[in-house]
Structure formats: structure tokens, C-alpha cells
Amino acid sequence: MSNPTLDLLNQHMSIRAFTDDPVTDEQVQEIFHAAVAGPNMNNYQPVTFIEITSQKLKAEITAQVGMKYIETATRYFVVAVDYNKDLIGLTPEEKALAEENIKRYNVLEGGIISAGIALGRAQVAAESLGLGSVTMAGALKAFELYESELNLPKYVKAVMGFSIGYPAQDPGIKPKLDLDGVLMKDGYHQEQMVEAVMRYDKIMTDYYAQRGVTRSWISNNVRMLTANRDTSELTQYTQNKGFNLK
């Protein structure tokens, strides 16, 4: 089964190098019209995209996080969970009650899910226009710059980065787990998952070897998941923005 939409989705590649060709404001508007047309939590629409146009600031963010495709992106956006917009127009009494609920974990989770949906749609929209894109999860190491430079009010928390531009590379399509590793019926089946992971590990071992890297999916997970990383600042940042995760 095939159609242009399925083909576009299945041919996704993360692009980390961009040409100097401009991305127009009209293209950006079309991308984000499509992004926010999707579902979101309770129609709160708790997602805001903030473009950073300052090359100096993009360079400073790159220096913090080590991702060159922020500084070199034609257009770069910070994706934020935004419940500030939902407090506009409320009376002081209504706002006080709403703020107590905004502190709860499920509200932040709903905002992050909404942001993920919007970001996925934005990627597909960008690719449909011949553009490439890459997402950067998390705001760790850069959140202080976002806070100091972007005037983010309470209940507006940066969660992702999003770079777009015309591709200057063809990195190829990275293999993913087959459907046995992501689709189950009537429950979670550990044996099915183990078999799917082991098949995929062999595929990724070959994939990395073709790129001159001695690595597998499992070894990469070990490297990433066992690293000693202090992310307490990111937890504190979340709480400072008003999401106390009650």
C-alpha cells in the first residue's frame, strides 16, 4: 500500500546540514498552520513556537548544547509548552484555581504530548515543501539562555528545538524497529519484544558498520542510559516555571 503521504512519512531523514537557500515566511506560516491543526489536550492549544532570528544567540545555544545544526539552520524554533495563554481573560479567582491545577503532572504531560504532536506535524509539513528538519529533545544546558533571552512567562516552558532548511546532505533513512517492536495485541508480550530488539540490533550493527562506527543499538543504549548525568537542574527548571508536578 502506498500514497504520497505514506511515502513522505516513511522516507523521513533527520537533516543536520542546510544550504544557504532561504526559507520564506510564507513557507513557515504554512508549516505551522499544519502543525497546530492537529489534536491537543482539551483544546488548551498549549504549544507555542518561538523563532530565534539572532545568529549570535543561535551560536550561543550551539556552544551550550554542542549541536551545530542550531547555529547553521536556516530557521530555528524553540518549542514551548504554554499554559500562560489559557489564563488570559480569567478573573483573579478563576486564575487562582486554574493555577493550582496547572501545577499537576498530568497537565504538563498533556502539554508535552501536544507539543510532540504539533512538532511531528510540522516536520511532515516542512518535508512536503521540500525542506529538511531536525528536532532536539529537551532544554537541558540551553534553558537558561531561553529564559534570559526569550522573555518566557510563568507556565511557558521550553521543551524542544526545531531546525528547518533546504537539505545540504542525504544521510539516508535510519532503520527502525520492525512492527513487532512497536505494535502488540491484547497486552504487552516480552518475548515478542526481545526477539524484535535482537533482530534490530543486528540491523543497526550493520548500519553503523557501513558508516565506520563500531556500535549496535543495544551498545548505544548502554552508552546513553548508563552515563552519569545530573539532570536535577532540568527538574528544578520545570518547577520554577510553575509545574510543581503534584
Write the pLDDT tens digit of every residue in 140-149: 788 999 999 9
Cβ atoms of residues 102 and 171 within 8 Å: no
pLDDT score for 245: 80
Identify whether residues 35 and 148 lie together within a single domain: yes
Identify whether residues 184 and 72 lie together within a single domain: no
Q: Is it the case that residue 233 has pLDDT exceeding 90?
A: no
Q: Residue 11: which CATH number?
A: 3.40.109.10
Identify whether residues 15 and 76 lie together within a single domain: yes
Q: Is it the case that residue 139 has pLDDT exceeding 80?
A: no
Range of the domain at 196: 175-215
pLDDT score for 181: 98
Identify whether residues 169 and 182 lie together within a single domain: no
CA separation (Å) from 179 to 78, 149, 182, 192, 203?
32, 43, 5, 10, 14
The answer to the question of residue 39 being in a domain is yes
As a whole number, mean pLDDT of residues 69-88 equals 96
Among the ranges given (22-26, 55-59, 85-89, 134-138), the one the predictor scored with the smallest mean pLDDT: 134-138
**Number of structural domains in the chain:** 2
Identify whether residues 128 and 138 lie together within a single domain: yes
**Mean pLDDT score across all residues of the chain:** 95
Cβ atoms of residues 162 and 79 within 8 Å: yes
The answer to the question of residue 126 being in a domain is yes
Identify whether residues 204 and 185 lie together within a single domain: yes
Identify whether residues 140 and 194 lie together within a single domain: no
Cβ atoms of residues 17 and 72 within 8 Å: yes
The dihedral built from the CA positions of residue 133, 134, 138 and 144, taken in this order, carries a sign that is: negative
Predicted model pTM: 0.93
The answer to the question of residue 88 being in a domain is yes
**What are the pLDDT digits (tens) for 199-219?**
999 999 999 999 999 999 999
